[in-house]
Amino acid sequence: MQNPDIARLFDEVADLLEIQDANPFRVRAYRNAARTIRDFPEPLTDLVRAGTKDLTEIPGIGDDLAEKITEIVTSGALPLQQQLARKLPAGLLDLLRIPGLGPKRVKLLYKKLKVKSAADLAKALDAGKVQKLKGFGPKMEEKMRAGLGQAQVTERRMLLNEAETQATAVVAYLQAGGGVRQIEVAGSYRRRRETIGDLDILVTSDSSAQVMDRFATYGDVADVVSKGDTRATVKLRGGLQVDLRAVEPAAYGAALQYFTGSKAHNVELRKIAQEQGYKLNEYGLFKGTRRVAGKTEAEIYNTLGLDWMPPELREARGEIALAREHRLPRLVELTDMRGDLQMHTSATDGKGTFEEMAQAARALDYQYIAITDHSQRVTMTHGLDPRRLRAQWKAIDAWNAAARGFTILKSVELDILENGKLDLPDDVLAEADYVVATIHYGLTQAEQQLTRRLVDAAEHPFVDAIGHPTGRLVGKREPYPADFEAVSRACAAAGCALELNGHPERMDLPDTLAAAAKQWGVRFVLSTDSHQPGNLTFMRYAVDLARRAGLEARDILNTRPLAAFQRELKRARQ
């Protein structure tokens, strides 16, 4: 079992406990443990089997949780989760797949309206019963109706970081068996979409049957759906489907292109091939029966008169025209990043000190970070009031005075209040090095109100960036309604940056909105929203977002060295 599989079981336990009115502290313990496990850098399965590490040394993991992790690793299941699930109707947990329906709302629907399934919910909606419940207004009803189909969907899309954990482990296992010459994970994973439905792996091999045999005996396989000498499909214990295809070396590039591009991208490409008298498929580019290209992707694109396109761009959003005109952007790379501009410490809801965050960032060869603990409005995280914030900044000043070659920026994640005002006074904000303003409350306000809040914040002289601008949580909460053309125009005019938040649960600003904002002249910052030192590696997901949006290093402020970055901030331009 990979870490995401273990974390998912703990999340399910938390959901089941919450629906059954368990002690809130117990629910929170499982939620926090799930996040810790999901973000833990080492495979817990390896640690349990090796017996070299006491799991209770992991922050937030006590004896009971450590024992349950061991149970999951050794048996592939968690008896507690099974016991709790048996106490509820089988269809009830399916409702959690509907955006906006968390455990609290599901519990209310179950207790007040006896809703036990998606079918029951549909009937309750049609009868007008749901609107009568507290917290279920017309907008929520509309969301539930739109999301009813999700409750019946058996495929669970996985967050990119979870899929990456699974993909990395499978690829390493196949390579360790020998006989693999080339291997790549294709599909939406290679395009770096924020969620992944399944994994498509391509290999070339001297003995494809041997590779397929090894694949079918991978330790995390729950079911071998099919297996032949050149193709096999398995289901992992966490529910993820993985397809493995062995192709001949002369067709490897063609197969990689075919199984990477979106459907729309591939349709456009095949149309171009037909117009030039070729036939394009997963086996190669053919002139009649003769294969003229296929060994590499570049061969195929070049033969069609196109530049090779980075996988992240292959969504049929104009990249083919740019490739024909040799105008593809030089996409930002992880090595371009010089600093991380959103993270939290134990002063609020993080799990490390600012010194520990700085140490982790230096190990990544960064030049600077911004410590952005929450402002006072976020009471559930013990947000900082002016006195506590200034005390933190004083300590940061002292640390910077003794540091060499690295700088911690005095910063804050500033709440944009429901009434449109900012959570801290201007005299405090003026003392900061960098301020990122975000919305956490009032997410159900009308589009006009939310837009006005964002625009006013973008125009404020001491707000340098708007953080996680749509407020979405991937697969859990839809973006709040706002006019992002108006927000982008305001940011461009005021010199306020928009954040691309690479935390896998946020991935916000979405790539399509970031691409549109670039057209309005907006500048960006990339960050991780880290809550512990190990989260700083999430920067690669922020870079994935930026690349899918077609962003170059010059579009992103924190690709610059510290002095240049500070000169580019709005506060320096006032």
Q: Which CATH class is domain 3-152?
A: mainly alpha
Quick one: average pLDDT of 356-366?
96
Q: Give the residue carrying structure tokens 């009649």.
A: 288
**What pTM did the predictor assign?**
0.88
Query: 525 in helix, strand or coil?
Result: strand
Q: Give the residue carrying structure tokens 């914030």.
A: 389
Residue 226 has pLDDT above 80, yes or no: yes
- The radius of gyration of the chain from alpha carbons, rounded to an integer in Å, stands at 25
Write down the pLDDT at residue 403: 87
Write down the pLDDT at residue 475: 80
Length of the chain: 574
Residue 288 has pLDDT above 80, yes or no: yes
| Pairing verdict, β 284-287 and 279-281 | antiparallel
DSSP secondary structure, 39-89, as one string = H-SS-HHHHHHHT-S-GGGSTT--HHHHHHHHHHHHHSS-HHHHHHHHTS-
- Does the domain formed by 251-324 have CATH 3.30.210.10? yes
What residue ranges do the domains of the chain occupy? Answer: 3-152, 158-246, 251-324, 334-573
Quick one: average pLDDT of 427-453?
95
Q: 211, exposed or middle or buried, with CB in 10 Å at 0-12, 13-18, 19+?
A: buried
* Rounded to 5°, angle at Cα 113 from 112 and 115: 120
Residue 154 has pLDDT above 60, yes or no: no
Q: Which strand (E) or helix (H) includes residue 246? A: strand 241-246
Residue 115 has pLDDT above 70, yes or no: yes
Q: Provide the CA 538 distance to its chain's centre, in angstroms.
A: 9
Which of 368, 318, 371 lies closest to 339 in space, CA to CA?
A: 368
Write down the pLDDT at residue 255: 97
pLDDT above 90 covers what percent of the chain? Answer: 68
CA dihedral sign, ordered 64, 70, 74, 77: positive
Residue 441 has pLDDT above 60, yes or no: yes
Residue 151 has pLDDT above 70, yes or no: no
Q: Evaluate whether 143 touches 19 at the Cβ level (below 8 Å).
A: no
Q: Evaluate whether 524 touches 497 at the Cβ level (below 8 Å).
A: yes
Q: Give the residue carrying structure tokens 């394009």.
A: 280
Over residues 371-428, the pLDDT tens digits come to 999 999 988 788 999 999 999 999 999 999 998 889 999 999 999 999 999 999 999 9
What residue type is assigned to position 244 of the chain? Answer: L
Residue 327 has pLDDT above 60, yes or no: yes
**Residue that wins the pLDDT comparison between 190 and 24:** 190
The backbone torsions φ and ψ at residue 11, rounded to the nearest 5 degrees and listed phi first, read -60, -40
Write down the pLDDT at residue 302: 97
Residue 150 has pLDDT above 70, yes or no: no
Over residues 21-62, the pLDDT tens digits come to 888 889 988 988 898 888 887 888 888 888 777 888 887 888
Cα 403 to Cα 358, 368, 397, 409, 566: the distances in Å are 10, 11, 10, 13, 18
Q: Which strand (E) or helix (H) includes residue 189? A: helix 187-190
Residue 338 has pLDDT above 90, yes or no: yes
Beta bridge partners of 556: 524
At 192, is the pLDDT very low, low, confident or very high (cuts 50, 70, 90)? Answer: very high
Query: 537 in helix, strand or coil?
Result: helix
Quick one: average pLDDT of 66-86?
89
Residue 133 has pLDDT above 70, yes or no: yes
The mean-pLDDT minimum among 131-140, 177-186, 329-338 falls in 131-140
Write down the pLDDT at residue 389: 97
Beta strands in 297-442 (DSSP E): 339-340, 368-371, 407-415, 434-438
Q: Which CATH class is domain 334-573?
A: alpha beta
Alpha-carbon distance of 118 to 136, in angstroms, equals 16
Q: Evaluate whether 297 touches 348 at the Cβ level (below 8 Å).
A: no
CB atoms within 10 A of CB 377: 18
Q: Give the residue carrying structure tokens 């896998």.
A: 504
Cα 8 to Cα 43, 89, 348, 380, 563: the distances in Å are 15, 20, 25, 24, 43
Write down the pLDDT at residue 213: 95
At 155, is the pLDDT very low, low, confident or very high (cuts 50, 70, 90)? Answer: low
Torsion of CA 106, 108, 111, 117, to 10 degrees: -30
Give the DSSP letter of residue 42: S
Q: Evaluate whether 486 touches 451 at the Cβ level (below 8 Å).
A: yes
Cα 574 to Cα 98, 213, 570: the distances in Å are 45, 65, 6
**Residue that wins the pLDDT comparison between 237 and 293:** 293
Over residues 513-547, the pLDDT tens digits come to 999 999 999 999 999 999 999 999 999 999 999 99
Alpha-carbon distance of 514 to 524, in angstroms, equals 9
What residue type is assigned to position 366 of the chain? Answer: Y
Over residues 236-274, the pLDDT tens digits come to 988 889 999 999 999 999 999 999 999 999 999 999 999
Select the highest-mean-pLDDT range: 48-52, 162-166, 195-199, 557-561.
Answer: 557-561
Which of 506, 507, 505, 520 lies closest to 548 in space, CA to CA?
A: 507
Q: Which strand (E) or helix (H) includes residue 242? A: strand 241-246
Torsion of CA 195, 200, 204, 205, to 10 degrees: 110
Assign residue 128 a region: left if phi > 0, alpha if psi is -120 to 50, beta otherwise?
left
CATH superfamily of 158-246: Beta Polymerase, domain 2 (3.30.460.10)
Write down the pLDDT at residue 153: 60
